[in-house]
Amino acid sequence: MTREPCVLLISPGIIKWTDMDFGLPHLVSMGGYVQQHTGVRVELLDLNYEGGDHTHLLQTIESLGPHLLIGLSTYSSFDYMRVMALARFLRRHFPDTPLVTGGYHASALPDDVVFDGSPFDAVIVGEGEKPLRSMVETLLGGQRLEQRVWGPDQIEDLDTLPPYQWQLLDRYWPRATDIGRKFQIYLARGCPYHCTFCMERAKSGYKWRAYSSQRAVDELRRLSKRTDLRQWVINIADPLFGFKRRWRREVLEGILRHDLLPRQYWTLTRSDDLDDTDIELLAKARFSIGIGLESGSPTMLTLMQKGNKPDAYLGAMQRLARLSLKHGLNWASNVIVGHPGETLASMRETHRYLTELFTSAKETCGWLSIDPFRLYPGAQVHEMMQTYSQLHGTRFHHPQWWKSWYDGPFAAEHIDPSREVSFEDRVEFMHEAYAPLTAAIAERFTGQGRSVDRVFRRSLNEQARQMSDERKQQTLRHAQRSRARASRADRDGPIVGFPVGLHVRDPWVRQRESAVRQLLDDGVLRTADLVEAMLQVAPEAHMSKDAAALLLGGHHAATDAEGDVAIALSLRTYAMGLEALEPALGDRVVDATARSSYLSALLSHLVGERGEVLAIHPAGGEPAEFSRFATSLAASPNVMIARAETAGVALEGTWDGAWIGAALPRVPHGVARHLVDPGGRLITFVGPRFRAQDLVALTRHGDALEERAVARVAVPVLAGPGGWIMPRPRERAEATARP
């Protein structure tokens, strides 16, 4: 039986996989709304929880088809490059299916996702329900989707939305409590405040809109029938919980009246309007609350647009600290260090205020989260960077940091806040001032109970790591390297059409992807097929885990005996050499120094089924080593395996490409005849025995070799004829003719 086409909504997952939320309320809401108004089948995928590789992902998506439309969430700017890679992957495999996106980043910068040559057909800005419905109705009516910006078209009365259709997550519910630590739900949208650093206005605007208090409680009641709330920390992920006092109290009273008590609730709110009654209700309803204090300096609060009465705002926080001890309400306060315009005086003022707030009493129910300022698209600071630079001397080192593959969290915070405070000044102050304070808070903290204390302990441990001297020195070194090289902030990263971040729970995959992203960001990797191969081929499957860790960490996995072929070179060295070798589909290539099978596996991927790879394992190893080598290549039918009889390099036949992965004193004599004419290529290393050598690419033109130095790199030297170390007498006697 043929199924009707579906609307498939995909969450790309997140690289930081610890403490993940379960629920996808934004996609569940859109899916339920479209389903109610159009009758179309809706399917949801959360790539945090799918597992498997890109082949498994493709099979999963195909199994859910046919597709009327595929929507991919560009929720955060940190997701941008991965989302674009996934979009290109989807476009390649589903060329006739409309592909759309939305989310915070897409709403803030729609031109980043829809442009000439973009894989996306359209972008939704703002809330997605109404624009997505219009798209579906357009397609059901037989019309094409216009490549344009759809929206904004906000939902003014949230009660007109259908109830959350949690059954859209049926593929995940059997594993829900195993794969998510917190359950996420929205009861309100928008925020009336105009904080300069926040990107909420790009998505939901400045108007606070909520379900009616009865509807909000009903949504929690419906959720309680789907799952046991006591298993969860319920994250009410509203931009601002309980902006209106009456609504807030009615919801809290409804939670208590219907016994809708999870392990705990977590939500973000403000302290301005919380009095004794509110604190008591929040504590009884098992809430912990986060307060975006952001600064203890009235001057900075005014600059941040946190309110027009900064003294009253700071006083309200002190009132919360007192009342929370009375009623046992846990709370967390966040501060931003280094907002544009920050001075040494304002940073010291904030520190004094926080010291008084947390240490004036013997105990506290609160803890402190310290964050550097980060530049977010859609925030007022982002839109007014030039103004901040003129007024305060702020310098944004990476004004388009999300277009780089590597180190987005660092690049987002790499700014000089003012003429008076450099990035390095901010880092030094933040660590020196707040490391002792966070330790003092830990000594005074008193919690509600075991589950809340565990949340606090995780937060405390994260703050301790962030405030450590090791993290400080690492951040300062990172800034020094960043300043020393040309900024890539205004250059788009290389095009990648292969999904990244599918195995977020696998530490080996995370390490491999991090290394590849750094090579992309540094401009070392430029070829999409090579990027795909390096993302797909696992070094730890072709060598020991220790050797794989060295390779991914930027080091060679050499051997103890000089002259032995290295187990593996660094990933960067392989990337530079393979970019120069340019193996193409159908090529015949030889890895003449294949101590491990990793490079041969990469070459196998690059030349494809019609290509051929010869992997020559060097002489001298144990039979068991060669057996493991052959076994690791068993899944690559286009790879032939040979074992060298003596040390050195022996080439036979003619090849499109050849790799000699060790240092030689000179280019081997006669090597040209083993390369196809014209255009056969050889990659090797030529230069001194005890210093760095040239990674050279040699290309055959007739009897001549055109030589190009690619990079300077120190690699282990080769023993045997043609190498730096002559073979032992017995080996010389047994040696065969060399090229």
**Domain match, 547 and 641 both:** yes
Q: What is the CATH number of the domain that holds 673?
A: 3.40.50.150
489 dihedral zone (left: phi>0; alpha: psi -120 to 50; beta): alpha
**Poorest-pLDDT segment among 409-423, 433-447, 672-686:** 433-447
Mean local confidence (pLDDT), 503-515: 86
Q: Which amino acid is at 111?
A: D
Q: Is the pLDDT of residue 488 over 60?
A: no
- How many angstroms from the chain centroid is the CA of residue 665? 43
**429 is a domain residue:** no
Domain boundary among 158, 180, 199: 158
| Residue 354's CATH number | 3.20.20
96 and 143 housed in the same domain: yes
User: For 149-160, what is each residue's pLDDT tens digit?
Assistant: 999 999 999 999
List, for residues 191-237, the tens digit of each pLDDT value: 999 999 999 988 888 999 999 999 999 999 999 999 999 999 999 99
Determine the average pLDDT of the residues in 673-679.
94
Give residue 499's pLDDT band: very low, low, confident or very high (50, 70, 90). Answer: confident
* Domain around 138: 6-158
pLDDT at 484: 59
**Distance separating alpha carbons of residues 350 and 405, to the nearest angstrom:** 34
Cβ(593)–Cβ(565) under 8 Å?
yes
Question: In 10 A of CB 546, how many CB atoms?
Answer: 11
Running DSSP on this structure, what letter comes out for residue 648? S
Q: Are residues 344 and 468 in the same domain?
A: yes
Predicted confidence at residue 523, as pLDDT, reads 85
Task: Look up the CATH number of the domain holding residue 42.
Answer: 3.40.50.2300
Q: What's the predicted TM-score (pTM) here?
A: 0.88
Residue 125 included in any domain:
yes
Choice between 234 and 178, residue whose per-residue pLDDT is larger: 234
Alpha carbon distance 124, 9 (integer Å): 13
Are residues 441 and 365 part of one domain? yes
Q: pLDDT tens-digit profile of 440-454?
A: 998 888 876 656 666
Element (H, E) at 474: helix 469-484
Nearest by Cα to 24 from 204, 172, 150, 161: 172
Domain co-membership, 148 together with 196? no
Which residue, of 104, 139, 158, is where some domain finishes? 158
State the angle between helix axes of 245-257 and 213-226 in degrees (0 to 180), rounded to the nearest 10: 30
At residue 520, does pLDDT exceed 70?
A: yes
Which pLDDT belongs to residue 455? 64
pLDDT, tens only, 328-362: 999 999 999 999 999 999 999 999 999 999 999 99
With cut-offs at 50, 70 and 90, classify the pLDDT of residue 16: low
Question: Quick one: 136 and 196 in the same domain?
Answer: no
Q: How far apart are CA 518 and CA 491, in angstroms?
A: 15
Return the structure tokens found at 139: 């397609």
* Neighbouring C-alpha atoms within 13 Å toward the C-beta of 739: 19
Distance of CA 697 to the CA centre of its chain: 34
Q: How many domains does the chain have?
A: 3
Q: Is 632 inside a domain boundary? A: yes
pLDDT of residue 450: 53
Closest by CA position to 287, among listed 330, 347, 224, 342: 330
Residues 680, 578, single domain; the answer is yes
First to last CA, the chain: 64
**pLDDT score of 492:** 55
d(CA 529, CA 410): 28
Task: Read off the pLDDT of each residue in 274-278 and give the average, rounded to a whole number.
Answer: 96
Q: What pLDDT does 496 receive?
A: 80
What integer pLDDT is reported at residue 240 of this predicted model?
96
Domain end marker among 158, 176, 207: 158
pLDDT of residue 307: 81
Question: Which one has a higher pLDDT value, 573 or 177?
Answer: 573
- pLDDT for the residue numbered 519: 92
Per-residue pLDDT at 38: 97
- Statement to judge: residues 15 and 111 lie in one domain: yes
Mean pLDDT of the chain: 91
Residue 550 structure tokens:
């060295």
Q: Is residue 636 part of a domain?
A: yes
Phi-psi region of 361 (alpha: psi -120 to 50; beta: other; left: phi over 0): beta
DSSP 8-class letter at 516: H
In 577-731, beta strands by DSSP E: 588-591, 612-617, 639-643, 657-664, 681-686, 693-701, 704-713
> Is the pLDDT higher at 443 or at 424?
424
Residue 579 lies inside a defined structural domain of this protein: yes
Same domain, 153 and 195: no
**d(Cα 575, Cα 546) in Å, to the nearest integer?**
20
Q: Please check whether residue 413 lies inside any domain of the structure.
A: no
Residue 428 lies in a domain: no
pLDDT of residue 388: 98
- In a shared domain, residues 222 and 150: no
pLDDT band at 725 (very low <50, low <70, confident <90, very high): confident
CB-based contact 147:114 (threshold 8 Å):
yes
Q: Is 410 domain-assigned?
A: no
- Say whether both 290 and 332 belong to one domain: yes
At residue 621 the predicted structure's pLDDT band, cuts being 50, 70 and 90, is low
Asked whether the predicted pLDDT for residue 732 surpasses 50, the reply is no
Instruction: List the Cα angle 341/345/347 in 5-degree steps.
Output: 70
User: Distance between CA 433 and CA 278 in Å, rounded?
Assistant: 33
What pLDDT is stored for residue 645 in this prediction? 75
Which helix (H) or strand (E) covers residue 290, if one does? strand 287-294
Q: What's the pLDDT tens digit per position in 653-664?
A: 999 999 999 999
* 86 vs 20, residue with greater confidence: 86
99: which residues sit within 8 A by CB, 6+ positions away?
A: 69, 70, 71, 72, 87, 90, 91, 119, 120, 121
Per-residue model confidence (pLDDT) at position 449: 60
118 with 199, same domain: the answer is no
Q: Token match 């606090």: residue?
A: 456
- Per cent of the chain over pLDDT 90 is 73
Banded model confidence at residue 50, pLDDT cuts 50, 70, 90: confident
Please enumerate in sequence order all residues whose Cβ is within 8 A of that of 120, keeping only pairs 6 or more positions apart, or say none: 72, 87, 99, 100, 101, 113, 114
Type of residue at 479:
A
